[in-house]
Structure 1
Amino acid sequence: MSATTIHLVRHGEVHNPEHVLYERLPGFHLSERGRRMADATGRYLAANPQTNTVAAVWSSPLERTRETAGIIIGRLNEARAERAVVAPDGHPLPALELAVDERLIEAGNDFRGKRIGHGEGALWKPENLRLVRNLYKPTWGESYRHIAARMSAFASEKIDEYAGRQIIVVSHESPIWSFRHLLETGHPEHNMLLRHAALASVTSITFDADTHQVMSITYVDPAANVA
């Protein structure tokens, strides 16, 4: 029996001094702290013999995820060069390059561009809050079911493509948690306030490569203490 492990990494902190709900808006990059968070996670993955031999790194197309993935790739490639890391079969590992997939993108959100706070364009206005009718079934954008479906399609494809190997996938809180919740409970609906996917955290899901059944789910937060 062979297994495929997908390490789902959430991007680091974003530079957002105006507290805008940026969702899929362009131009939102990692903050300096976010870059340190990505580096902490990259160093963790590079130091772990179970993750420094990954076959590929995939990312959402948004800036914050591509930047996080780039920092992680830098740490992994550095470790491979310095420590002569080889694949489990003993063959040399090629340098990693970033691959992008639209299915990993942030959830669609009708509040995109709104500000968290008061004043013009603020989220917390009656006309906006009327859309928030059910935290378990978003009424303000893309449904958890649709989010989980696109993540599931990506994962199913990669389980076969990378059978017996591991990959890193950099995405966003909602896609990561909706997919995990689907796998653990059979449904993706959840209370968004109870998610467990911190910035730059790693949710590792191991699948039986033949049946696609979940074998294990683990979670670590390498950037928890980054100031």
Structure 2
Amino acid sequence: MVASQVHLVRHGEVFNPDGILYGRMSGFGLSKLGHRMAQAAADDLVERDRAISAIAASPLQRTRESAKPIALAFGLPIAIDDRIIEPTNHFEGTVMKRALRKPRNWPYIVNPVRPSWGEPYASIVLRMRAAIDAAFLSVESGDVVLVSHQLPIWVTHLALAGERFPHDPRKRRCSLSSITTIEQRQGDDGDPTLVEVGYVEPARVLQAAATDVGAV
């Protein structure tokens, strides 16, 4: 037996008053609003009346804090999975608009296909797929929750939809504390394949007051 569904949950709003591209930097936890968003995601999963058998988060503070209300709701420990962490990015620790004005940074934006400023999209997808495949096999029944970040969740969606990876970051359909749900089904060749079956935004009513500028 394997898990029925894997839910990819994005973290809530981060306390980031300076508008820094925080990436993998330490010290960036949820804001007060972010904690409310994380609770909204937990409430949504509870309202589905589905058995949640395991939960894992990326090692960063914002995902661990976002996983906490889900873990409390289902009485589960939070495992840490390095494979679902935020990608590396050359502009980490900067304010993006200012960094782009500096000529020394221009070589890092010449190739949006790879992309040249950070971890290749294909690499992100490989590690996310490995984490999702492992999540399906990690329990005998029920669902598994993986609390991750915008770009890893978004490129996973693109991969499952058969779409190209290069994209406008402003147009990602992966809002704060959103939940993307995946099932494992039998493909035409008889092997298991991953299928996206749902996307919801439990914290939609809180989005208008949120700031979301630190994701890579």
State the TM-score, normalized to the length of structure 2.
0.86
Query: Is residue 42 of structure 2 the alignment partner of residue 42 of structure 1?
Result: yes
The unaligned stretches of length 5 or more in structure 2 are: 210-216
Q: Find 1:61's aligned residue among 59, 81, 88.
A: 59
- CA separation of 1:171/1:7 partners in 2, compared to 1, >3 Å: closer, same or farther? same
Look up the match of 2:138.
161
Contact 1:9 1:170 in 2 (8 A): yes
Equivalents in 2 of 1:2, 1:153: separation in Å?
15
Could you give the per-residue CA deviations for residues 46-86 of structure 1, whole angstroms, max 9, x where no partner exists? Answer: 12213xx1100110000000000012222x23xxxxxxxxx
Look up the match of 1:218.
198
Contact 1:21 1:115 in 2 (8 A): yes
Q: Find 2:120's aligned residue among 117, 120, 143.
A: 143
Superposed CA RMSD in Å reads 2.1
Contact 2:180 2:196 in 1 (8 A): no
- CA separation of 1:157/1:99 partners in 2, compared to 1, >3 Å: closer, same or farther? same
Farther off after superposition, 41-50 or 142-151 = 41-50
The unaligned stretches of length 5 or more in structure 1 are: 78-94
Look up the match of 1:88.
none
Contact 1:136 1:192 in 2 (8 A): no
Question: SS in structure 2 opposite 1:38?
Answer: helix
Contact 1:14 1:28 in 2 (8 A): yes
Look up the match of 2:26.
26
Equivalents in 2 of 1:220, 1:55: separation in Å?
20
Question: SS in structure 1 opposite 2:28?
Answer: coil
Farther off after superposition, 212-221 or 136-145 = 212-221
Question: SS in structure 1 opposite 2:144?
Answer: strand
Q: How far off its partner does 1:190 sit?
A: 3.7
Q: Find 1:206's aligned residue among 149, 163, 183.
A: 183
Equivalents in 2 of 1:211, 1:187: separation in Å?
23
Q: Find 2:88's aligned residue among 97, 108, 111.
A: 108
Contact 1:135 1:192 in 2 (8 A): no
Q: Quote the sequence identity (%).
A: 38
- CA separation of 1:3/1:104 partners in 2, compared to 1, >3 Å: closer, same or farther? closer
Question: SS in structure 1 opposite 2:55?
Answer: strand
